[in-house]
């Protein structure tokens, strides 16, 4: 058991897979000599050489396309896109190539391609560098999406992604890289797309992913002092979604709150709300509620930026209002 930063757990996962399988390579901007923007590939070029750890030009569509071709020919490339915002330049390689080639080839070409990209709102990076594009990627059949919220899951899910024969995107939140947690490298990992129960409660089910899981747990701790017990489910995956875990919990608590940093309109929360409403209609005491980012470009001003995405107090307020407790409305 080790106490590791999120970025260190990703680094160890990369190191373990590269040591075990010489077909695993990584490529992207600054992944070699610099060790990656968030140090995830630190030390790997010195250990495995520049053929397997490749610095690339600033040309996302080109090097992502190179990853697609390498995967078709039997390698297991891990492409690092410096930020999810730059994935917009690689959208053709991701959507038209990686997601579709296995289907269009009748399975002749599997796609053992992992694409890592940091996302989410960091701190005052401006609207063009603060996008959350889960909603875009979720709407692409053929892509799988993992969203690790803890160092342990970052370690597990990156290794599992590299083992996968499907195109798999690992979304890493920029504000989680220097979060710390226990990592057991020998523990048996749950399936990569299985949701996990982070906290059990009788009154309401809160479903979240990525950094919002951390905020949901903070809210649950606070609410417990008021006698409100909230279940917190960490989705861990946005494509596919583990519906069974979510449905089972909602059937027990009869209340559901969905928390996401992404914009409210047509986001992951909208799909979660629609499907859970269909599957749990007769178990719900009240309509499913959502706490989400505002439908605006992210402001640069620090206070406005913070107000544009869910905060712990927003989750607390939403639960109180749903349950009709003091501070909320019945």
Residues involved in catalysis: 60, 129
CB distance 79 to 60 below 8 Å: no
Could you tell me where the beta strands, DSSP code E, fall in the chain?
A: 2-5, 24-28, 53-55, 76-80, 114-119, 144-146, 168-173, 180-183, 196-199, 204-208, 230-234, 237-239, 256-263, 289-293
Which two structure tokens, joined as six digits, stand for 305? 């930026």
Of the candidates 260, 244, 255, the one whose C-alpha atom is nearest the C-alpha of residue 321 is 255
- Tokens 């914009």 locate to 263
Helix, strand, coil shares of the chain, percent, nearest 5, are: 40, 20, 40
User: Which residues are CB-neighbours of 196 under 8 A, at least 6 positions away?
Assistant: 153, 190, 233, 234, 236, 245
CB distance 246 to 233 below 8 Å: yes
* C-beta contacts of 297-302 below 8 A and 24+ residues apart: 297/127, 298/121, 298/126, 298/127, 298/130, 298/131, 299/127, 300/124, 300/126, 300/127, 301/124, 302/123, 302/124
């Amino acid at each position: 058991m080790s106490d590791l930063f999120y970025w260190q757990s990703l680094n160890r996962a990369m190191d373990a897979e590269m040591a075990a399988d010489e077909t695993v390579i990584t490529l992207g901007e600054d992944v070699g000599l610099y060790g990656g923007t968030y140090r995830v590939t630190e030390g790997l070029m010195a250990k495995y050489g520049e053929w397997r750890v490749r610095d690339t030009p600033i040309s996302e569509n080109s090097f992502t396309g190179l990853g697609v071709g390498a995967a078709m020919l039997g390698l297991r490339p891990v492409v690092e896109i410096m930020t999810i915002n730059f994935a917009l330049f690689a959208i053709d390689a991701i959507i038209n190539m990686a997601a579709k080639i296995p289907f269009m080839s009748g399975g002749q070409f599997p796609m053992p391609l992992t694409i890592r990209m940091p996302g989410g709102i960091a701190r005052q990076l401006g609207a063009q560098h603060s996008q959350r594009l889960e909603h875009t990627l979720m709407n692409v059949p053929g892509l799988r999406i993992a969203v690790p919220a803890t160092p342990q899951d970052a370690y597990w899910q990156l290794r599992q992604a590299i083992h996968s024969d499907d195109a798999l995107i690992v979304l890493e939140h920029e504000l989680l890289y220097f979060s710390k947690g226990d990592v057991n490298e020998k523990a048996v990992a749950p399936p990569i797309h299985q949701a996990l129960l982070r906290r059990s409660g009788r009154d309401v089910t809160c479903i979240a992913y990525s950094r919002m899981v951390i905020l949901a747990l903070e809210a649950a701790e606070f609410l417990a002092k008021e006698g409100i017990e909230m279940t917190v489910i960490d989705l861990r995956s946005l494509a596919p979604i583990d519906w069974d875990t979510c449905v089972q919990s909602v059937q027990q608590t009869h209340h559901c709150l969905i928390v996401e940093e992404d914009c409210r309109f047509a986001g992951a929360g909208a799909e979660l709300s629609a499907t859970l409403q269909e599957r749990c209609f007769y178990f719900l005491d009240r309509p499913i509620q959502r706490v989400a980012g505002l439908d605006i470009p992210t402001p640069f001003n620090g206070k406005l930026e913070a107000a544009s995405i869910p905060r712990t107090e927003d989750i607390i307020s939403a639960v109180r209002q749903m349950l009709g407790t003091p501070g909320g409305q019945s």
